A and B are shown apart, each in its own frame.
Chain A
Protein backbone atom coordinates (compact mmCIF):
# COMPACT_ATOMS: atom_id res chain seq x y z
CA UNK A 1 0.00 0.00 0.00
CA UNK A 2 2.68 2.47 1.00
CA UNK A 3 4.16 2.36 -2.47
CA UNK A 4 5.91 4.95 -4.52
CA UNK A 5 2.63 6.67 -5.31
CA UNK A 6 1.94 7.33 -1.64
CA UNK A 7 5.40 8.75 -1.12
CA UNK A 8 5.13 10.96 -4.19
CA UNK A 9 1.71 12.14 -3.10
CA UNK A 10 2.97 12.94 0.37
CA UNK A 11 5.97 14.87 -0.93
CA UNK A 12 3.83 16.82 -3.41
CA UNK A 13 1.33 17.68 -0.67
CA UNK A 14 3.93 18.96 1.75
CA UNK A 15 5.68 20.87 -1.05
CA UNK A 16 2.37 22.44 -2.12
CA UNK A 17 1.48 23.39 1.45
CA UNK A 18 4.84 25.01 2.12
CA UNK A 19 4.91 26.68 -1.27
CA UNK A 20 1.69 28.44 -0.25
CA UNK A 21 3.74 30.94 1.73
CA UNK A 22 5.75 32.05 -1.31
CA UNK A 23 3.37 31.62 -4.18
CA UNK A 24 2.15 34.86 -5.78
CA UNK A 25 -1.49 35.71 -5.09
CA UNK A 26 -2.75 34.74 -8.51
CA UNK A 27 -1.14 31.30 -8.33
CA UNK A 28 -2.49 30.73 -4.84
CA UNK A 29 -5.99 31.63 -5.96
CA UNK A 30 -5.68 29.54 -9.10
CA UNK A 31 -4.56 26.47 -7.17
CA UNK A 32 -7.29 26.93 -4.55
CA UNK A 33 -10.00 27.10 -7.19
CA UNK A 34 -8.50 24.35 -9.35
CA UNK A 35 -8.13 21.88 -6.48
CA UNK A 36 -11.56 22.84 -5.20
CA UNK A 37 -13.14 22.11 -8.56
CA UNK A 38 -11.01 19.00 -8.87
CA UNK A 39 -12.99 17.46 -6.01
CA UNK A 40 -16.20 17.67 -8.04
CA UNK A 41 -14.36 16.07 -10.96
CA UNK A 42 -13.09 13.31 -8.70
CA UNK A 43 -16.69 12.52 -7.77
CA UNK A 44 -17.61 12.47 -11.45
CA UNK A 45 -14.72 10.10 -12.12
CA UNK A 46 -16.17 7.62 -9.61
CA UNK A 47 -19.32 7.58 -11.71
CA UNK A 48 -17.39 7.38 -14.97
CA UNK A 49 -15.49 4.33 -13.77
CA UNK A 50 -18.87 2.61 -13.71
CA UNK A 51 -19.61 3.91 -17.21
CA UNK A 52 -21.91 6.69 -16.06
CA UNK A 53 -21.26 10.19 -17.34
CA UNK A 54 -23.20 12.86 -15.50
CA UNK A 55 -23.74 16.09 -17.37
CA UNK A 56 -25.36 17.52 -14.26
CA UNK A 57 -22.81 17.61 -11.46
CA UNK A 58 -23.43 21.36 -11.52
CA UNK A 59 -26.60 20.57 -9.59
CA UNK A 60 -24.68 19.50 -6.49
CA UNK A 61 -21.87 21.95 -7.08
CA UNK A 62 -24.38 24.79 -7.04
CA UNK A 63 -26.30 23.25 -4.15
CA UNK A 64 -23.12 23.25 -2.08
CA UNK A 65 -22.24 26.79 -3.11
CA UNK A 66 -25.72 28.12 -2.40
CA UNK A 67 -25.78 26.42 0.99
CA UNK A 68 -22.64 28.34 1.90
CA UNK A 69 -24.02 31.54 0.43
CA UNK A 70 -27.32 31.13 2.23
CA UNK A 71 -25.68 30.40 5.58
CA UNK A 72 -23.34 33.35 5.26
CA UNK A 73 -25.74 35.89 3.78
CA UNK A 74 -29.08 35.02 5.39
CA UNK A 75 -28.30 33.09 8.55
CA UNK A 76 -25.02 34.74 9.51
CA UNK A 77 -22.96 31.60 9.96
CA UNK A 78 -19.48 32.28 8.62
CA UNK A 79 -17.47 29.42 10.02
CA UNK A 80 -15.77 27.60 7.17
CA UNK A 81 -15.99 24.13 8.69
CA UNK A 82 -19.68 24.44 9.48
CA UNK A 83 -20.29 25.81 5.99
CA UNK A 84 -18.46 22.98 4.23
CA UNK A 85 -20.14 20.30 6.32
CA UNK A 86 -23.54 21.82 5.69
CA UNK A 87 -22.83 21.99 1.95
CA UNK A 88 -21.90 18.32 1.88
CA UNK A 89 -25.01 17.34 3.85
CA UNK A 90 -27.33 19.36 1.60
CA UNK A 91 -25.77 17.94 -1.57
CA UNK A 92 -25.95 14.34 -0.32
CA UNK A 93 -29.52 14.78 0.90
CA UNK A 94 -30.54 16.15 -2.48
CA UNK A 95 -28.74 13.29 -4.22
CA UNK A 96 -30.44 10.76 -1.96
CA UNK A 97 -33.72 11.95 -3.41
CA UNK A 98 -32.74 12.49 -7.06
CA UNK A 99 -30.57 9.38 -7.01
CA UNK A 100 -33.58 7.15 -6.44
CA UNK A 101 -34.62 8.04 -9.96
CA UNK A 102 -31.17 8.29 -11.51
CA UNK A 103 -30.04 4.76 -10.62
CA UNK A 104 -32.51 3.33 -13.11
CA UNK A 105 -30.79 4.95 -16.07
CA UNK A 106 -27.57 4.32 -17.95
CA UNK A 107 -25.49 5.89 -20.70
CA UNK A 108 -27.06 8.82 -22.54
CA UNK A 109 -30.23 8.69 -20.47
CA UNK A 110 -28.24 9.04 -17.30
CA UNK A 111 -26.26 11.86 -18.90
CA UNK A 112 -29.23 13.80 -20.16
CA UNK A 113 -31.51 13.22 -17.17
CA UNK A 114 -28.81 14.46 -14.82
CA UNK A 115 -28.46 17.46 -17.14
CA UNK A 116 -32.20 18.08 -16.95
CA UNK A 117 -32.14 18.05 -13.15
CA UNK A 118 -29.33 20.56 -13.01
CA UNK A 119 -31.22 22.77 -15.46
CA UNK A 120 -34.27 22.62 -13.19
CA UNK A 121 -32.18 23.97 -10.32
CA UNK A 122 -30.75 26.59 -12.67
CA UNK A 123 -34.29 27.62 -13.62
CA UNK A 124 -35.33 27.85 -9.98
CA UNK A 125 -32.26 29.89 -9.02
CA UNK A 126 -32.67 32.31 -11.92
CA UNK A 127 -36.34 32.94 -11.16
CA UNK A 128 -36.00 33.10 -7.40
CA UNK A 129 -35.41 36.59 -5.94
CA UNK A 130 -34.65 35.16 -2.50
CA UNK A 131 -31.51 33.55 -3.92
CA UNK A 132 -30.35 36.65 -5.71
CA UNK A 133 -31.74 35.66 -9.12
CA UNK A 134 -29.22 36.05 -11.95
CA UNK A 135 -27.00 38.35 -9.87
CA UNK A 136 -26.24 35.65 -7.33
CA UNK A 137 -25.11 36.30 -3.77
CA UNK A 138 -21.87 37.61 -2.36
CA UNK A 139 -20.21 35.25 0.09
CA UNK A 140 -18.53 36.93 3.02
CA UNK A 141 -14.97 35.87 3.90
CA UNK A 142 -15.19 32.84 6.19
CA UNK A 143 -14.07 32.56 9.79
CA UNK A 144 -11.75 29.76 10.86
CA UNK A 145 -13.07 28.26 14.10
CA UNK A 146 -13.95 31.69 15.41
CA UNK A 147 -10.95 33.53 13.97
CA UNK A 148 -11.33 36.08 11.24
CA UNK A 149 -8.27 36.76 9.11
CA UNK A 150 -7.02 39.61 6.99
CA UNK A 151 -6.66 39.23 3.23
CA UNK A 152 -3.22 37.61 2.75
CA UNK A 153 -3.75 35.31 5.72
CA UNK A 154 -7.23 34.44 4.56
CA UNK A 155 -6.00 33.37 1.13
CA UNK A 156 -3.33 31.13 2.57
CA UNK A 157 -5.70 29.67 5.17
CA UNK A 158 -8.25 28.84 2.48
CA UNK A 159 -5.54 27.29 0.38
CA UNK A 160 -4.38 25.14 3.28
CA UNK A 161 -7.94 24.05 4.02
CA UNK A 162 -8.38 23.02 0.39
CA UNK A 163 -5.10 21.09 0.45
CA UNK A 164 -6.06 19.37 3.71
CA UNK A 165 -9.45 18.36 2.36
CA UNK A 166 -7.84 17.13 -0.85
CA UNK A 167 -5.41 14.95 1.10
CA UNK A 168 -8.18 13.41 3.18
CA UNK A 169 -10.39 12.88 0.14
CA UNK A 170 -7.59 11.45 -2.00
CA UNK A 171 -6.64 8.99 0.72
CA UNK A 172 -10.25 7.95 1.25
CA UNK A 173 -10.74 7.70 -2.50
CA UNK A 174 -7.63 5.58 -2.84
CA UNK A 175 -8.94 3.16 -0.21
CA UNK A 176 -12.37 3.23 -1.79
CA UNK A 177 -11.07 2.38 -5.26
CA UNK A 178 -9.34 -0.69 -3.82
CA UNK A 179 -12.43 -1.75 -1.88
CA UNK A 180 -14.98 -4.27 -3.22
CA UNK A 181 -17.36 -1.43 -4.00
CA UNK A 182 -14.60 0.31 -5.94
CA UNK A 183 -13.76 -2.77 -7.98
CA UNK A 184 -17.44 -3.23 -8.70
CA UNK A 185 -17.27 -0.12 -10.89
CA UNK A 186 -15.36 -1.93 -13.64
CA UNK A 187 -17.70 -4.88 -13.42
CA UNK A 188 -20.76 -2.67 -13.73
CA UNK A 189 -19.29 -0.96 -16.75
CA UNK A 190 -18.42 -4.23 -18.46
CA UNK A 191 -21.41 -6.43 -17.67
CA UNK A 192 -24.09 -5.25 -15.37
CA UNK A 193 -26.24 -8.35 -15.69
CA UNK A 194 -23.39 -10.57 -14.65
CA UNK A 195 -22.79 -8.46 -11.55
CA UNK A 196 -26.36 -9.10 -10.47
CA UNK A 197 -25.88 -12.82 -11.00
CA UNK A 198 -22.81 -12.73 -8.81
CA UNK A 199 -24.97 -11.45 -6.01
CA UNK A 200 -24.05 -7.77 -5.86
CA UNK A 201 -26.69 -5.10 -6.15
CA UNK A 202 -25.89 -2.83 -9.09
CA UNK A 203 -28.57 -0.43 -8.00
CA UNK A 204 -27.11 -0.05 -4.53
CA UNK A 205 -23.56 0.32 -5.86
CA UNK A 206 -24.57 3.01 -8.37
CA UNK A 207 -26.60 4.77 -5.69
CA UNK A 208 -23.60 4.84 -3.37
CA UNK A 209 -21.38 6.21 -6.12
CA UNK A 210 -23.98 8.81 -6.95
CA UNK A 211 -24.13 9.98 -3.32
CA UNK A 212 -20.35 10.13 -3.03
CA UNK A 213 -20.09 12.10 -6.27
CA UNK A 214 -22.77 14.52 -5.08
CA UNK A 215 -21.10 15.00 -1.70
CA UNK A 216 -17.77 15.79 -3.36
CA UNK A 217 -19.45 18.19 -5.76
CA UNK A 218 -21.12 19.90 -2.79
CA UNK A 219 -17.83 20.33 -0.95
CA UNK A 220 -16.28 21.54 -4.18
CA UNK A 221 -18.99 24.16 -4.66
CA UNK A 222 -18.54 25.30 -1.06
CA UNK A 223 -14.76 25.69 -1.41
CA UNK A 224 -14.93 27.52 -4.73
CA UNK A 225 -17.66 29.87 -3.51
CA UNK A 226 -15.58 30.74 -0.44
CA UNK A 227 -12.48 31.29 -2.56
CA UNK A 228 -14.23 33.40 -5.19
CA UNK A 229 -16.51 35.18 -2.74
CA UNK A 230 -19.48 35.14 -5.07
CA UNK A 231 -22.02 32.64 -6.38
CA UNK A 232 -24.48 32.81 -9.24
CA UNK A 233 -26.84 30.43 -11.06
CA UNK A 234 -24.17 29.75 -13.71
CA UNK A 235 -22.80 27.19 -11.27
CA UNK A 236 -25.83 24.99 -11.96
CA UNK A 237 -25.77 25.66 -15.70
CA UNK A 238 -24.88 22.70 -17.86
CA UNK A 239 -21.75 24.33 -19.24
CA UNK A 240 -20.30 24.12 -15.72
CA UNK A 241 -21.11 20.43 -15.63
CA UNK A 242 -19.66 20.14 -19.12
CA UNK A 243 -16.41 21.59 -17.82
CA UNK A 244 -16.27 18.90 -15.14
CA UNK A 245 -16.81 16.27 -17.82
CA UNK A 246 -14.03 17.79 -19.89
CA UNK A 247 -11.58 17.77 -17.00
CA UNK A 248 -12.54 14.19 -16.11
CA UNK A 249 -11.91 13.05 -19.69
CA UNK A 250 -8.67 15.02 -19.79
CA UNK A 251 -7.34 13.41 -16.62
CA UNK A 252 -8.68 9.95 -17.27
CA UNK A 253 -10.23 7.56 -14.79
CA UNK A 254 -7.04 5.68 -14.00
CA UNK A 255 -6.00 7.22 -10.71
CA UNK A 256 -7.49 9.25 -7.89
CA UNK A 257 -4.96 12.05 -8.38
CA UNK A 258 -5.73 12.37 -12.08
CA UNK A 259 -8.80 14.63 -11.68
CA UNK A 260 -6.96 17.05 -9.40
CA UNK A 261 -3.97 17.16 -11.73
CA UNK A 262 -6.19 17.68 -14.77
CA UNK A 263 -8.11 20.37 -12.95
CA UNK A 264 -4.93 22.33 -12.30
CA UNK A 265 -3.86 21.89 -15.93
CA UNK A 266 -7.30 23.07 -17.01
CA UNK A 267 -7.34 26.19 -14.84
CA UNK A 268 -3.79 27.13 -15.86
CA UNK A 269 -4.78 26.62 -19.49
CA UNK A 270 -7.83 28.79 -19.06
CA UNK A 271 -5.85 31.59 -17.44
CA UNK A 272 -3.38 31.67 -20.31
CA UNK A 273 -6.09 31.30 -22.93
CA UNK A 274 -8.12 34.19 -21.54
CA UNK A 275 -4.97 36.31 -21.55
CA UNK A 276 -3.78 35.46 -25.05
CA UNK A 277 -6.66 34.11 -27.08
CA UNK A 278 -10.02 34.62 -25.40
CA UNK A 279 -12.10 33.88 -28.49
CA UNK A 280 -10.79 30.42 -29.21
CA UNK A 281 -10.95 28.92 -25.73
CA UNK A 282 -13.86 26.59 -26.44
CA UNK A 283 -12.33 25.70 -29.79
CA UNK A 284 -9.17 24.66 -27.99
CA UNK A 285 -11.16 22.67 -25.44
CA UNK A 286 -13.03 20.85 -28.18
CA UNK A 287 -9.91 19.98 -30.14
CA UNK A 288 -8.05 18.84 -27.03
CA UNK A 289 -10.99 16.69 -25.92
CA UNK A 290 -11.23 15.09 -29.38
CA UNK A 291 -7.51 14.34 -29.37
CA UNK A 292 -7.67 12.89 -25.87
CA UNK A 293 -10.69 10.70 -26.71
CA UNK A 294 -9.16 9.43 -29.94
CA UNK A 295 -5.51 9.06 -29.03
CA UNK A 296 -5.33 8.99 -25.24
CA UNK A 297 -8.53 7.24 -24.15
CA UNK A 298 -7.29 6.87 -20.59
CA UNK A 299 -6.40 10.50 -20.25
CA UNK A 300 -3.28 12.40 -19.26
CA UNK A 301 -2.87 9.99 -16.36
CA UNK A 302 -1.91 7.18 -18.70
CA UNK A 303 1.14 9.22 -19.70
CA UNK A 304 2.33 9.06 -16.11
CA UNK A 305 1.46 5.39 -15.82
CA UNK A 306 3.80 4.55 -18.65
CA UNK A 307 6.61 5.90 -16.56
CA UNK A 308 5.56 3.72 -13.66
CA UNK A 309 4.80 6.64 -11.41
CA UNK A 310 1.12 6.00 -11.06
CA UNK A 311 0.79 2.33 -10.25
CA UNK A 312 -2.03 2.52 -7.82
CA UNK A 313 -5.00 0.86 -9.40
Chain B
Protein backbone atom coordinates (compact mmCIF):
# COMPACT_ATOMS: atom_id res chain seq x y z
CA UNK B 1 0.00 0.00 0.00
CA UNK B 2 2.73 2.33 1.03
CA UNK B 3 4.60 1.64 -2.16
CA UNK B 4 1.55 2.41 -4.26
CA UNK B 5 1.08 5.73 -2.47
CA UNK B 6 4.74 6.57 -2.89
CA UNK B 7 4.59 5.73 -6.58
CA UNK B 8 1.52 7.90 -7.03
CA UNK B 9 3.00 10.91 -5.20
CA UNK B 10 6.44 10.62 -6.80
CA UNK B 11 4.88 10.02 -10.17
CA UNK B 12 2.63 13.05 -9.91
CA UNK B 13 5.48 15.32 -8.89
CA UNK B 14 7.66 14.04 -11.68
CA UNK B 15 4.79 14.28 -14.17
CA UNK B 16 4.17 17.91 -13.20
CA UNK B 17 7.80 18.72 -13.85
CA UNK B 18 7.72 16.83 -17.15
CA UNK B 19 4.66 18.74 -18.25
CA UNK B 20 6.06 22.21 -17.61
CA UNK B 21 9.33 21.22 -19.21
CA UNK B 22 7.88 19.70 -22.36
CA UNK B 23 4.71 21.62 -23.19
CA UNK B 24 6.67 24.31 -25.02
CA UNK B 25 8.11 21.71 -27.38
CA UNK B 26 4.62 20.58 -28.25
CA UNK B 27 3.41 24.14 -28.82
CA UNK B 28 6.25 24.93 -31.21
CA UNK B 29 5.77 21.69 -33.10
CA UNK B 30 2.04 22.18 -33.34
CA UNK B 31 2.26 25.63 -34.87
CA UNK B 32 5.50 25.49 -36.83
CA UNK B 33 6.03 21.77 -37.52
CA UNK B 34 9.51 22.17 -36.14
CA UNK B 35 10.91 19.73 -33.65
CA UNK B 36 12.97 22.15 -31.62
CA UNK B 37 16.11 20.41 -30.41
CA UNK B 38 17.27 23.74 -28.98
CA UNK B 39 14.44 23.29 -26.46
CA UNK B 40 16.94 21.66 -24.12
CA UNK B 41 19.29 24.65 -24.35
CA UNK B 42 16.47 27.08 -23.68
CA UNK B 43 15.65 25.00 -20.64
CA UNK B 44 19.28 25.25 -19.54
CA UNK B 45 19.33 29.01 -20.18
CA UNK B 46 16.24 29.34 -18.01
CA UNK B 47 17.84 27.28 -15.27
CA UNK B 48 21.07 29.31 -15.34
CA UNK B 49 19.28 32.64 -15.49
CA UNK B 50 16.94 31.60 -12.68
CA UNK B 51 19.72 30.27 -10.47
CA UNK B 52 22.11 33.19 -10.92
CA UNK B 53 19.39 35.83 -10.46
CA UNK B 54 18.05 34.13 -7.34
CA UNK B 55 21.54 33.88 -5.88
CA UNK B 56 22.10 37.59 -6.55
CA UNK B 57 18.65 38.41 -5.19
CA UNK B 58 19.12 36.45 -1.96
CA UNK B 59 22.60 37.86 -1.43
CA UNK B 60 21.12 41.37 -1.49
CA UNK B 61 18.89 40.35 1.39
CA UNK B 62 15.56 41.11 -0.25
CA UNK B 63 12.43 39.33 1.05
CA UNK B 64 13.00 35.64 0.24
CA UNK B 65 9.40 34.82 -0.58
CA UNK B 66 9.56 36.97 -3.67
CA UNK B 67 12.39 34.82 -5.05
CA UNK B 68 9.71 32.77 -6.84
CA UNK B 69 8.83 35.85 -8.83
CA UNK B 70 12.49 36.25 -9.68
CA UNK B 71 12.53 32.74 -11.10
CA UNK B 72 9.48 33.53 -13.15
CA UNK B 73 10.95 36.81 -14.39
CA UNK B 74 14.20 35.09 -15.36
CA UNK B 75 12.32 32.60 -17.52
CA UNK B 76 10.29 35.33 -19.17
CA UNK B 77 13.44 37.31 -19.87
CA UNK B 78 15.15 34.33 -21.50
CA UNK B 79 12.08 33.55 -23.58
CA UNK B 80 11.59 37.10 -24.76
CA UNK B 81 15.23 37.54 -25.72
CA UNK B 82 16.18 34.13 -27.10
CA UNK B 83 12.85 33.29 -28.73
CA UNK B 84 12.61 36.14 -31.25
CA UNK B 85 16.38 36.09 -31.76
CA UNK B 86 16.35 32.44 -32.84
CA UNK B 87 13.12 32.62 -34.82
CA UNK B 88 13.85 35.84 -36.69
CA UNK B 89 17.61 35.39 -36.84
CA UNK B 90 17.93 31.74 -37.84
CA UNK B 91 14.82 29.65 -38.32
CA UNK B 92 12.99 31.81 -40.82
CA UNK B 93 15.75 31.39 -43.38
CA UNK B 94 15.02 27.68 -43.49
CA UNK B 95 11.22 27.82 -43.66
CA UNK B 96 9.79 25.73 -46.45
CA UNK B 97 12.56 23.14 -46.33
CA UNK B 98 11.94 19.58 -45.13
CA UNK B 99 11.02 19.01 -41.51
CA UNK B 100 14.23 17.09 -41.13
CA UNK B 101 16.32 20.04 -42.36
CA UNK B 102 14.66 22.25 -39.77
CA UNK B 103 15.50 19.60 -37.21
CA UNK B 104 19.13 19.95 -38.23
CA UNK B 105 18.88 23.74 -38.02
CA UNK B 106 17.59 23.58 -34.45
CA UNK B 107 20.32 21.06 -33.71
CA UNK B 108 22.85 23.67 -34.85
CA UNK B 109 21.18 26.23 -32.62
CA UNK B 110 21.41 23.73 -29.78
CA UNK B 111 25.16 23.34 -30.32
CA UNK B 112 25.64 27.10 -30.43
CA UNK B 113 23.60 27.73 -27.30
CA UNK B 114 25.51 25.01 -25.43
CA UNK B 115 28.71 26.99 -25.72
CA UNK B 116 27.03 30.35 -25.30
CA UNK B 117 25.70 29.13 -21.96
CA UNK B 118 29.18 28.04 -20.94
CA UNK B 119 30.68 31.35 -22.07
CA UNK B 120 28.17 33.37 -20.05
CA UNK B 121 28.00 31.29 -16.88
CA UNK B 122 31.23 29.30 -16.95
CA UNK B 123 31.41 25.63 -16.10
CA UNK B 124 30.93 25.89 -12.33
CA UNK B 125 27.79 24.65 -10.64
CA UNK B 126 25.13 27.11 -9.48
CA UNK B 127 23.21 26.18 -6.37
CA UNK B 128 20.17 28.32 -5.71
CA UNK B 129 18.38 26.11 -3.22
CA UNK B 130 16.89 28.90 -1.10
CA UNK B 131 13.46 28.80 -2.77
CA UNK B 132 13.47 25.03 -2.39
CA UNK B 133 14.25 25.00 1.32
CA UNK B 134 12.12 28.03 2.14
CA UNK B 135 8.78 26.25 2.28
CA UNK B 136 9.93 23.47 4.56
CA UNK B 137 9.11 19.80 4.37
CA UNK B 138 6.03 17.70 4.70
CA UNK B 139 5.51 14.00 5.29
CA UNK B 140 3.20 12.13 2.95
CA UNK B 141 2.51 8.39 3.30
CA UNK B 142 5.60 7.98 5.44
CA UNK B 143 7.91 9.70 2.99
CA UNK B 144 9.29 13.20 3.41
CA UNK B 145 8.79 15.65 0.56
CA UNK B 146 9.72 19.26 0.15
CA UNK B 147 6.73 21.55 -0.10
CA UNK B 148 8.35 23.01 -3.19
CA UNK B 149 7.71 19.70 -4.97
CA UNK B 150 4.01 20.16 -4.44
CA UNK B 151 4.26 23.75 -5.50
CA UNK B 152 5.60 22.48 -8.82
CA UNK B 153 2.49 20.31 -9.14
CA UNK B 154 0.24 23.28 -8.47
CA UNK B 155 2.23 25.38 -10.87
CA UNK B 156 1.98 22.76 -13.62
CA UNK B 157 -1.79 22.68 -13.21
CA UNK B 158 -1.81 26.47 -13.36
CA UNK B 159 0.30 26.55 -16.52
CA UNK B 160 -1.93 23.93 -18.11
CA UNK B 161 -5.07 25.82 -17.15
CA UNK B 162 -3.73 29.13 -18.45
CA UNK B 163 -2.67 27.57 -21.74
CA UNK B 164 -6.05 25.88 -22.10
CA UNK B 165 -7.77 29.18 -21.41
CA UNK B 166 -5.60 31.04 -23.90
CA UNK B 167 -6.20 28.49 -26.65
CA UNK B 168 -9.91 28.04 -26.12
CA UNK B 169 -11.17 31.31 -24.75
CA UNK B 170 -9.09 34.12 -26.23
CA UNK B 171 -9.00 35.50 -29.73
CA UNK B 172 -5.22 35.17 -30.13
CA UNK B 173 -5.31 31.61 -28.87
CA UNK B 174 -7.98 30.63 -31.35
CA UNK B 175 -5.93 32.09 -34.16
CA UNK B 176 -3.00 29.94 -33.06
CA UNK B 177 -5.28 26.91 -32.86
CA UNK B 178 -6.39 27.62 -36.41
CA UNK B 179 -2.78 27.69 -37.57
CA UNK B 180 -2.14 24.38 -35.79
CA UNK B 181 -5.04 22.76 -37.61
CA UNK B 182 -4.42 24.11 -41.09
CA UNK B 183 -1.79 26.62 -41.92
CA UNK B 184 -2.76 27.27 -45.53
CA UNK B 185 -6.42 27.88 -44.82
CA UNK B 186 -5.48 30.13 -41.91
CA UNK B 187 -3.31 32.15 -44.24
CA UNK B 188 -6.14 32.36 -46.76
CA UNK B 189 -8.50 33.55 -44.03
CA UNK B 190 -6.18 36.46 -43.32
CA UNK B 191 -4.34 35.23 -40.25
CA UNK B 192 -0.84 36.65 -40.09
CA UNK B 193 0.91 33.29 -39.95
CA UNK B 194 4.50 34.62 -39.68
CA UNK B 195 3.43 36.60 -36.62
CA UNK B 196 1.90 33.45 -35.16
CA UNK B 197 5.19 31.70 -35.75
CA UNK B 198 7.03 34.38 -33.84
CA UNK B 199 4.48 34.27 -31.04
CA UNK B 200 4.50 30.48 -30.83
CA UNK B 201 8.27 30.21 -30.84
CA UNK B 202 8.66 32.93 -28.22
CA UNK B 203 5.97 31.30 -26.11
CA UNK B 204 7.54 27.88 -26.49
CA UNK B 205 10.98 29.27 -25.63
CA UNK B 206 9.60 31.00 -22.54
CA UNK B 207 7.91 27.78 -21.44
CA UNK B 208 11.15 25.87 -21.90
CA UNK B 209 13.00 28.50 -19.86
CA UNK B 210 10.25 28.36 -17.25
CA UNK B 211 10.77 24.63 -16.96
CA UNK B 212 14.46 25.29 -16.36
CA UNK B 213 13.92 28.14 -13.90
CA UNK B 214 11.48 26.03 -11.93
CA UNK B 215 13.97 23.17 -11.79
CA UNK B 216 16.94 25.36 -10.84
CA UNK B 217 16.27 25.39 -7.07
CA UNK B 218 15.92 21.58 -7.01
CA UNK B 219 19.19 20.74 -8.68
CA UNK B 220 22.72 21.95 -8.99
CA UNK B 221 22.81 23.76 -12.33
CA UNK B 222 25.74 22.41 -14.31
CA UNK B 223 26.65 22.14 -18.00
CA UNK B 224 24.99 19.20 -19.67
CA UNK B 225 21.53 19.44 -18.14
CA UNK B 226 20.15 20.43 -21.53
CA UNK B 227 21.01 17.15 -23.21
CA UNK B 228 18.84 14.85 -21.12
CA UNK B 229 15.92 17.21 -21.25
CA UNK B 230 15.41 17.24 -24.98
CA UNK B 231 15.13 13.46 -25.30
CA UNK B 232 12.86 13.29 -22.28
CA UNK B 233 10.66 16.12 -23.53
CA UNK B 234 10.36 14.48 -26.91
CA UNK B 235 9.37 11.16 -25.33
CA UNK B 236 6.67 12.87 -23.27
CA UNK B 237 5.28 14.85 -26.17
CA UNK B 238 5.31 11.90 -28.56
CA UNK B 239 3.43 9.70 -26.10
CA UNK B 240 0.64 12.26 -25.89
CA UNK B 241 0.72 13.35 -29.50
CA UNK B 242 2.84 16.17 -30.93
CA UNK B 243 1.15 19.55 -30.92
CA UNK B 244 -1.54 18.73 -28.42
CA UNK B 245 -1.87 20.37 -24.99
CA UNK B 246 -3.96 17.55 -23.54
CA UNK B 247 -1.51 15.11 -25.06
CA UNK B 248 1.45 16.74 -23.32
CA UNK B 249 -0.39 16.54 -19.99
CA UNK B 250 -1.38 12.90 -20.45
CA UNK B 251 2.06 11.97 -21.79
CA UNK B 252 3.70 13.60 -18.77
CA UNK B 253 1.40 11.68 -16.42
CA UNK B 254 2.03 8.33 -18.11
CA UNK B 255 5.78 8.76 -18.34
CA UNK B 256 5.94 10.19 -14.81
CA UNK B 257 4.02 7.32 -13.25
CA UNK B 258 5.85 4.71 -15.30
CA UNK B 259 9.20 6.08 -14.22
CA UNK B 260 8.33 6.37 -10.54
CA UNK B 261 6.87 2.84 -10.62
CA UNK B 262 10.13 1.53 -12.04
CA UNK B 263 12.18 3.51 -9.51
CA UNK B 264 10.28 1.94 -6.65
CA UNK B 265 9.82 -1.55 -8.02
CA UNK B 266 12.66 -2.26 -10.44
CA UNK B 267 15.29 0.49 -10.37
CA UNK B 268 17.54 -1.23 -12.93
CA UNK B 269 15.19 -0.41 -15.78
CA UNK B 270 14.63 3.24 -14.84
CA UNK B 271 16.35 4.68 -17.90
CA UNK B 272 14.85 2.05 -20.12
CA UNK B 273 11.25 2.53 -19.07
CA UNK B 274 10.76 6.03 -20.47
CA UNK B 275 11.92 5.08 -23.93
CA UNK B 276 10.14 1.77 -23.61
CA UNK B 277 6.83 3.57 -23.06
CA UNK B 278 7.59 5.86 -25.97
CA UNK B 279 8.45 3.00 -28.32
CA UNK B 280 5.32 1.11 -27.24
CA UNK B 281 3.06 4.08 -27.93
CA UNK B 282 4.72 4.68 -31.29
CA UNK B 283 4.13 1.07 -32.26
CA UNK B 284 0.50 0.99 -31.21
CA UNK B 285 -0.57 4.50 -32.04
CA UNK B 286 2.07 6.33 -34.08
CA UNK B 287 0.35 9.71 -33.95
CA UNK B 288 0.39 9.63 -30.14
CA UNK B 289 -2.56 9.25 -27.83
CA UNK B 290 -4.06 12.63 -28.69
CA UNK B 291 -2.51 13.25 -32.08
CA UNK B 292 -4.42 13.41 -35.34
CA UNK B 293 -3.52 10.71 -37.80
CA UNK B 294 -2.06 12.09 -41.00
CA UNK B 295 -3.16 10.78 -44.32
CA UNK B 296 0.18 9.44 -45.36
CA UNK B 297 3.48 9.10 -43.57
CA UNK B 298 3.87 9.76 -39.94
Identify the A interface with B (CB < 8 A).
51, 53, 101, 104-109, 111-113, 115-117, 119-120, 122-124, 126-127, 192-193, 238-239, 242, 245, 249, 279-283, 285-287, 289-290, 293-294
Smallest Cβ distance from A91 to chain B, in angstroms? Answer: 19
Interface residue B116 (Cβ < 8 Å from any Cβ of A): yes
Smallest Cβ distance from B212 to chain A, in angstroms? Answer: 19
The answer to whether B271 and A123 touch across the interface, beta carbons within 8 angstroms, is yes
A104 to B282, CA, bound (A): 10
- For the complex with contacts A283-B111, A286-B110, A289-B111, 18 further pairs of A-B residues with Cβ separation under 8 Å are A101-B282, A104-B298, A105-B282, A107-B100, A108-B35, A108-B100, A113-B278, A192-B296, A279-B115, A283-B114, A283-B115, A285-B111, A286-B113, A287-B112, A289-B108, A290-B108, A290-B109, A293-B105
User: Looking across the interface, which residue of chain A has its beta carbon closest to that of B119?
Assistant: A279
Identify the B interface with A (CB < 8 A).
35, 90, 93-94, 98-101, 103-105, 107-116, 118-119, 227, 231, 234-235, 238, 268, 270-272, 275-276, 278-279, 282-283, 286, 296-298
The answer to whether A242 and B271 touch across the interface, beta carbons within 8 angstroms, is no
Contacts of B104 in A (CB 8 A): 53, 245, 249, 289, 293
The answer to whether B271 and A280 touch across the interface, beta carbons within 8 angstroms, is no
Please report whether the interface of chain B is mostly helix, strand, loop or mixed according to DSSP.
helix
Smallest Cβ distance from A195 to chain B, in angstroms? Answer: 12
Smallest Cβ distance from B219 to chain A, in angstroms? Answer: 19
Smallest Cβ distance from A305 to chain B, in angstroms? Answer: 20
The 9 closest A-B pairs by CB, nearest first: A123-B271, A286-B111, A286-B112, A283-B115, A289-B108, A116-B275, A286-B108, A282-B111, A290-B108
User: Looking across the interface, which residue of chain B has its beta carbon closest to that of A285?
Assistant: B111
Q: Can you spell out 14 A-B residue pairs with CB atoms less than 8 angstroms apart?
A: A104-B286, A104-B298, A108-B99, A112-B234, A120-B275, A123-B275, A283-B114, A283-B115, A283-B116, A286-B110, A286-B113, A286-B114, A286-B115, A287-B108
The answer to whether A109 and B286 touch across the interface, beta carbons within 8 angstroms, is yes
Most buried by B among A126, A239, A283: A283
The answer to whether B114 and A282 touch across the interface, beta carbons within 8 angstroms, is yes
Smallest Cβ distance from A246 to chain B, in angstroms? Answer: 8
Contacts of A124 in B (CB 8 A): 271-272
A112 to B114, CA, bound (A): 20
